[in-house]
Amino acid sequence: MSTHRSIMQPLPGFRSQEVASFLAQMDDQTRRLMEGLQGATPEELEWQPNPGMNTIGMLLAHNAIVEVFWTLVALERAEKPSGEPILGIGDDDDGMPLPEDGKPPAVLGGKDLAFYDTLLKKARAYLKKTAAGVTDADLEKEITRTRPDGTQRVLNVRWYFYHILEHYSGHFGQVLLLRHLYQASRVPTKA
């Protein structure tokens, strides 16, 4: 009889074990996502089921952009956060949200899986570097953000870590669904 172990350990090098646990979970989600995308071609990464719908590439770029954006907001307290210096792509280069009849952004055209893997790695490296000094007490700190419409949003640093994990995981599911739909669209139908 064989035994399969599923053990999650907090990452070393962080002042907060809770933060280290969130980051271990994020790394596992990324590992699983990239394993699930092995063999994806540029054509597949930019395929849309219909105009106005996201592509796998858009969702991958979006995950990287959001991870950096929220790190800038919650940990760096940036007034005008921009991930472009970190990622090398603009904050709107994911094309999201697309208009109802929209096509994927040209900047992502022809990009291969290695491009997106690099984006995700840059975002994660920035997050880890920035989060290394976060303490358990820091997780309780509240941040008030004024949205473009003037409303205010209050969040704590713990919510930020939760949000980037749940956001990433939600789009992970969308990516796998798009991959399934793409592959199904390539199977000839029997008459």
Report the b/e string of 78-88 with b at 16+ CB within 10 A.
eeeeebeebbe
In degrees, rounded to 5, the angle at the alpha carbon of residue 104 between the alpha carbons of residues 101 and 105 is 120
d(CA 41, CA 37): 9
The whole-number pLDDT of residue 141 equals 96
Share of the chain above pLDDT 70, in %: 99
> Would the pLDDT of 153 be above 80?
yes
- Domains, the chain, in order of start with CATH, read 17-184 (1.20.120.450)
The whole-number pLDDT of residue 80 equals 86
Q: Work out the number of other CB atoms within 10 angstroms of the CB of residue 171.
A: 20
8 versus 131: the higher-pLDDT residue is 131
Instruction: Identify the CA nearest to 104 among candidates 89, 114, 115, 94.
Output: 94
Report residue 191's pLDDT band, with 50, 70 and 90 as the boundaries: low
The whole-number pLDDT of residue 101 equals 95
User: For the residues 23-46, what does the mean pLDDT come to?
Assistant: 97
The whole-number pLDDT of residue 125 equals 98
Q: What is the pTM of this model?
A: 0.93
User: For the residues 80-92, what does the mean pLDDT come to?
Assistant: 94
